[in-house]
Structure 1
Amino acid sequence: MFVPCGESVPDFTGFTLLMPAVSVGNVGQLAMDLIISTLNMSKIGYFYTDCLVPMVGNNPYATAEEDSTELTINAEVYSLPSRKLVALQLRSVFIKYKSKPFCEKLLSWVKSSSCARVIVLSSSHSSHRNDLQLRSTPFRYLLTPSMQKSVVTKIKSLNWEEMEKSPCIPQMNDSELCIRIPGGGITKALYDESCSKEIQMAILLKFVSEGDNIPDALGLVGYLNEWLQIIKPRNDGPAAPALPWKLPSSWKLLFGSALPPALF
């Protein structure tokens, strides 16, 4: 499934895998763009899979004309060995009935490559929140049992709120309670599969609505940064310290090109 760019397969032993879920507002994917661009992570390979809709495009992280013509595809892997981070970016949607096989193959690769843990960045429909969720922070986390053992103390110190269980059948209060993530794409499937395979996984998500989701992506990477300390805050004055996330060049066309002046 994983195909390296070079002749040898990189060693991911002890690495943390960061990846998005293709979910409402594409918030996880936008957040991954920010991480890859800010850390200037190097592309080391790609995933060869028939589970995603095929696509090809120009380099989304181009910084000069020379590298703007490099091609990118639907599932690519980036790495930052100095921080023991590896990132999987997904750029297209899943083919019908192919999301579960993808999750199984991905997590099998995680185990065979000896990654220490997986962190999934995701989102969920804000319109599906209950009264308690409406009155609290829009961010939630979810940990597999094997992950809880290793990070429970750190997570408690952050005062984060865990994803609540809700009726498995909506609108039926006497229904059995379970984890539901409406609009979360493969998030729940990844979580369930990781629990059964005893993989250390954390889900970080934000309740969002469709629209301009750049602020949601910035909020989600800031939420992740509280835990991993990927980058340090920048303090330019009396205002609250800001996180210097680098917006990728591809975001200039996130909503299409500007209106042609001739229109007016």
Structure 2
Amino acid sequence: MKSQLCKPGNIPNSVAQKEPAPPIYWPLQAQKAILFFKLKKQQLQPAGRVVAQAKIKPLHQKEKESFFEGAELHKSIQKSSIFSKKMEFVIEQGKQPHQECSTLLLPALSIGNVGQLAVDLLVSSMKAERIGYLDDPFVLPCVGNDAYGPIPCGDLALPLEAYESAFSRVALLQQRSPVVKGRMVEFAKNLANFAAASGKKHVVLLSSLDFGKLQKIDMSSGPQIYYLSSINPDGRDDNCEQLGWKRLQEYNPAQRCWKYLSTLAEGNTMLESNLPFEDELEDEDYYPSLPFAALFSCLKAKGLKVTCLLCYCSEGDNIQDAFHLAEAACRLLGLNPSTFPGNGSGGWVIPFSWQTVYGPPPDMSIF
């Protein structure tokens, strides 16, 4: 029996070689995320020689034009190094930072993610516009859906996003991913350099503290806001006192860890022999070990005015804590949520992403 020859154009599908699809381009942080998980899967450390072998496919020219809508953003990303030690600010196409937005509001990651929830609430209520994102080597990569739009439009949520509200004259920075362990001071220095270089005059940090560390519990007047300011050496601020807030009593610039943190922020890398190991931390070392303390020290070292707004909470449903912290930020900055454009009398606009934060409500028929 004669064997049948496969003529050109009549090749079976199982044998035919399909033309490779054009490579898909992802933003820099998405590239990092893909690369990170590939390395994790192969159980390889992200060393320079391994990364050099993991090449990311280039873009076709048409894809560049359609995705970037211009060449400037593409050039800035092409120049970015995956393991650069500097923080880079990438401005979205057609956007420009407003010089009058000299106040920067951002979270410091802590228990309950209250600071992040509060920033989400403020971004949604102010209808702040995303103007770009920050790329920092000390922040773990992550990619997610848009946190504010009810309809998927293809916008990616990245680890560090920059927003501005021209109406409120406030810039906001949202952090959606934790800092690499042991690199908090380096990240804080990078962020302080960015804030100073972008002309910010006042930085407001929103964060939370472990309720189990609270020494004196006084709930007679409801949840209490605590503050820490760079205006005076002891952290006191008369304006915050007039608003009825209490200074964080645990702040002591002469205490060993606070003092060492300030030394690092000022650029002195000499180690002190009397510093405790991680498993030897005492109660007084808890507060300077938190992310807000590193950010406060580094921003203060750059000569910026810094105000930390803090609240005690526990893990769980921290929505009310986020409202409490966001309201405190508005009071500090002299803002009224009811005057935000298009919000109506209620003032606050719940972020769309909150619908799935804690899952659906319980079925009340079982009770």
TM range (shorter): 0.7 to 0.9
Distance 2:110 2:164 in 1: 23
Task: Tell whether 2:357 aligns with 1:254.
Answer: yes
Equivalent of residue 143 in structure 1, options 203, 220, 229: 229
Give the superposed CA RMSD.
3.2
Distance 1:228 1:8 in 2: 25
Distance 1:47 1:100 in 2: 17
* Corresponding residue number in structure 1 for 2:275: none
TM-score by length of 2: 0.59
Contact 1:222 1:243 in 2 (8 A): no
Distance 1:11 1:233 in 2: 23
* Corresponding residue number in structure 2 for 1:21: 108
* Corresponding residue number in structure 1 for 2:287: 181
* Corresponding residue number in structure 2 for 1:107: 192
* Corresponding residue number in structure 1 for 2:212: 127
Contact 1:29 1:91 in 2 (8 A): yes
> Which SS does the other structure have where 1:131 is aligned?
coil
The structure-2 alpha-carbon separation of the partners of 1:179 and 1:219, relative to structure 1 and needing over 3 Å to count, comes to farther
Unaligned runs of 5+ in 2: 1-87, 257-281, 340-344
Distance 1:53 1:114 in 2: 26
Moved over 4 A (4+): 132-137, 146-149, 166-169, 176-180, 257-260
> Which SS does the other structure have where 2:287 is aligned?
coil
Distance 2:167 2:94 in 1: 21
> Which SS does the other structure have where 1:102 is aligned?
helix
Distance 1:7 1:51 in 2: 28
1:95-124: CA deviation from partner (whole Å, max 9, x where unpaired): 112211111011011111111110000000
1:205-248: CA deviation from partner (whole Å, max 9, x where unpaired): 100000000011011112222222332459xxxxxxx8531111
Distance 1:188 1:133 in 2: 24
1:120-173: CA deviation from partner (whole Å, max 9, x where unpaired): 000000100112667775320000137999x9443232121111026859xxxx
Which structure has more RCO (C-alpha within 8 Å, separation ≥ 6)?
1
Alignment of 1:163-202 (within 5 A): 163-165=248-250, 180-181=286-287, 185-202=290-307
> Sequence identity of aligned pairs in percent?
28
The structure-2 alpha-carbon separation of the partners of 1:256 and 1:209, relative to structure 1 and needing over 3 Å to count, comes to same
1:14-57: CA deviation from partner (whole Å, max 9, x where unpaired): 61000001110000000000000001100000011121111111
TM-score by length of 1: 0.80
> Which SS does the other structure have where 2:117 is aligned?
helix
